[in-house]
């Protein structure tokens, strides 16, 4: 086993203020900030002031896609000689894009999530799409520094934070898939990576009341869980502990219905309820937790009919060879429809 973890994690109210010191520690005196439109309007000026005031030059690039060929073109256009590091600021997509560009240009990456809507802000994984809308899960390097300002995160729309709960509680089923693969396929997955992912989900499930109040403590639990999930991916050397059938369902929704669907964590949360049912795990516990935080618990809430969701469930195992409950069961159309109807078909 050989893995890398972030050097610096700064988490708390006002953690933005530690950015100049973090950049100094990673040896960066000019940063390219990768972000997208709303986030740039909300926080761009603050980052510019904070870094500029500490003699750190800042450039911005707004990126609204995670399409790999587009990012490869963008990579060629960036004057890399001007920048000593890349900072990814925003939701999961700009963080992924920043991580990807940093990796390709061999620059240190600093992750600055502005919402805990996903668990990629401390992971070494970059989730992109190819020309056909298929998911690409690339193993790069973990961020050198992770800066989570809980005051900033607390102002993110509730929908984004609820989506983050979906991505985290889904570790119940991603770990169940990993354990299935160990048992039935002899897959080699570090136990510690599974414990980290399991603990991330348990922390959120056991504190769901506090999390649902979006108190500082609740947000901290969610952010720490995201950090642990990111570490789990580093230890495993892939997204294996954190991405199973529920993620394949979400990837299939992205592919089949690119103009519809919900946020990543919303789709994953719904997929996790179905996957738990198929595993014979207490799926109602996941559903109730998601309901408690106001996350979708039905396919209708992510813009799909039962038929469409069943189609996504059938497409899901074709998207990746990674063994999951969907690969084991090889559902028929009728079984897929029944699983959706029994769990996430109404409301």
Ligand X SMILES: O=C(CO)COP(=O)(O)O
DSSP 234-277: HHHTSSGGG-SHHHHHHHHHHHH-TTS---HHHHHHHHHHHHHH
Q: Which of 36, 149, 167, 198 binds Zn ion (CB under 5 A)?
A: 167
Asked if residue 127 binds ligand X (CB under 6 A), the reply is yes
Asked if residue 96 binds Zn ion (CB under 5 A), the reply is no
DSSP 191-217: HHHHHHHHHHHHHHHHTHHHHHTT-HH
Instruction: Report whether 322 belongs to an annotated binding site.
Output: no
Least distance from Zn ion to the Cβ atom of residue 135, Å: 10
Closest residue by beta carbon to ligand NDP? 92
94 contacts 69 by C-beta, under 8 angstroms: no
126 contacts 94 by C-beta, under 8 angstroms: no
208 contacts 162 by C-beta, under 8 angstroms: no
Instruction: Report whether 61 belongs to an annotated binding site.
Output: no
Least distance from ligand NDP to the Cβ atom of residue 166, Å: 9
Asked if residue 254 binds Zn ion (CB under 5 A), the reply is no
Nearest CB to ligand X, comparing residues 169 and 309: 169
Instruction: Report whether 264 belongs to an annotated binding site.
Output: yes
Instruction: Report whether 57 belongs to an annotated binding site.
Output: no
270 contacts 330 by C-beta, under 8 angstroms: no
**CA–CA separation, 24 and 120 (whole Å):** 24
214 phi/psi in degrees, rounded to 5: 55, 35
Residue 212 site contact among ligand NDP, Zn ion, ligand X, none (CB < 5 to 8 Å, cut-off depends on kind): none
Residues interacting with ligand NDP, by CB under 6 A?
36-39, 42, 66, 90-94, 96, 114-115, 117-120, 123, 125-127, 156-157, 160, 163, 167, 233, 239, 263-265
Write the burial class of residue 59 (CB in 10 Å: 0-12 exposed, 13-18 middle, 19+ buried).
middle
Least distance from ligand X to the Cβ atom of residue 336, Å: 20
Residue 98 site contact among ligand X, Zn ion, ligand NDP, none (CB < 5 to 8 Å, cut-off depends on kind): none
Asked if residue 135 binds ligand X (CB under 6 A), the reply is yes
Query: Which positions from 164 through 183 interact with ligand X, judged by CB under 6 A?
Result: 167
**CA–CA separation, 91 and 115 (whole Å):** 6
Asked if residue 119 binds ligand X (CB under 6 A), the reply is yes
239 contacts 250 by C-beta, under 8 angstroms: no
- Sign (positive or negative) of CA dihedral 326, 288, 258, 111: negative
Least distance from ligand X to the Cβ atom of residue 178, Å: 12
Nearest CB to ligand X, comparing residues 108 and 135: 135
Query: Which positions from 230 through 249 interact with ligand X, judged by CB under 6 A?
Result: 239, 242-243, 247
Asked if residue 215 binds ligand X (CB under 6 A), the reply is no
Asked if residue 345 binds ligand X (CB under 6 A), the reply is no
Closest residue by beta carbon to Zn ion? 167
| E runs forming strands in the chain | 8-12, 30-35, 57-62, 85-90, 109-113, 125-129, 135-139, 145-149
Nearest CB to ligand X, comparing residues 35 and 239: 239
Among 121, 104, 120, smallest CA distance to 112 is for 121
**CA–CA separation, 84 and 227 (whole Å):** 25
**CA–CA separation, 293 and 325 (whole Å):** 27
Going by the annotation, the residues of the binding site for substrate are 119, 167, 251
Residues comprising the binding site for NAD(+)? 92-96, 114-117, 123
Q: Which residues bind ligand X (CB under 6 A)?
A: 119, 125, 127, 135, 137, 167, 239, 242-243, 247
Residues placed in the known binding site for glycerol: 119, 167, 247, 264
| Binding stretches for Zn ion (CB under 5 A) | 167
Binding-site residues for Zn(2+), in ranges, read 167, 247, 264
Please enumerate, by residue number, every residue annotated as part of a binding site. Answer: 92-96, 114-117, 119, 123, 167, 247, 251, 264
């Amino acid at each position: 086993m050989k893995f890398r973890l972030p050097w610096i994690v700064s988490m708390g109210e006002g953690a933005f203020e530690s950015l100049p010191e973090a950049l100094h520690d990673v040896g960066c005196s000019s940063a390219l900030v990768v972000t997208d439109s709303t986030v740039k309007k909300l926080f761009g000026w603050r980052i510019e002031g904070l870094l500029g005031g500490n003699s750190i030059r800042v450039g911005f690039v707004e990126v609204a896609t995670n399409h790999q060929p587009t990012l490869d073109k963008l990579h060629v256009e960036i004057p890399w000689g001007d920048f000593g590091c890349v900072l990814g600021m925003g939701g999961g997509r700009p963080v992924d894009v920043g991580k990807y560009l940093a990796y390709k240009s061999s620059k240190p990456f600093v992750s600055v999530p502005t919402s805990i809507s996903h668990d990629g802000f401390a992971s070494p994984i970059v989730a992109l799409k190819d020309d056909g809308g298929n998911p690409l899960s690339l193993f790069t390097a973990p961020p050198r520094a992770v800066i989570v300002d809980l005051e900033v995160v607390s102002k993110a729309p509730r929908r984004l934070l609820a989506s983050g709960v979906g991505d985290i509680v889904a570790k119940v089923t991603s770990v169940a898939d990993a354990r299935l693969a160990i048992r039935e396929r002899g897959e080699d997955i570090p136990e510690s990576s599974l414990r980290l992912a399991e603990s991330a989900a348990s922390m959120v499930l056991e504190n769901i009341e506090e999390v649902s109040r979006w108190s500082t403590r609740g947000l901290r639990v969610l952010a720490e869980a995201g950090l642990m999930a990111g570490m789990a991916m580093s230890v495993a050397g892939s997204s294996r502990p954190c991405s199973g059938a529920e993620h394949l369902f979400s990837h299939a929704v992205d592919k089949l219905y690119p103009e519809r669907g919900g946020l990543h964590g919303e789709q994953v949360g719904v997929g996790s309820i179905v996957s738990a049912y198929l595993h014979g795990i207490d799926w109602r516990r996941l559903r109730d937790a998601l309901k408690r935080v106001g996350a979708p618990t039905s396919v209708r809430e992510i813009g799909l009919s039962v038929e469409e969701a069943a189609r996504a469930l059938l497409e899901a195992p074709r998207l990746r060879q990674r063994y999951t409950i969907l690969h084991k069961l090889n559902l028929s159309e009728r079984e897929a429809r029944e699983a959706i109807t029994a769990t996430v078909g109404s409301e």
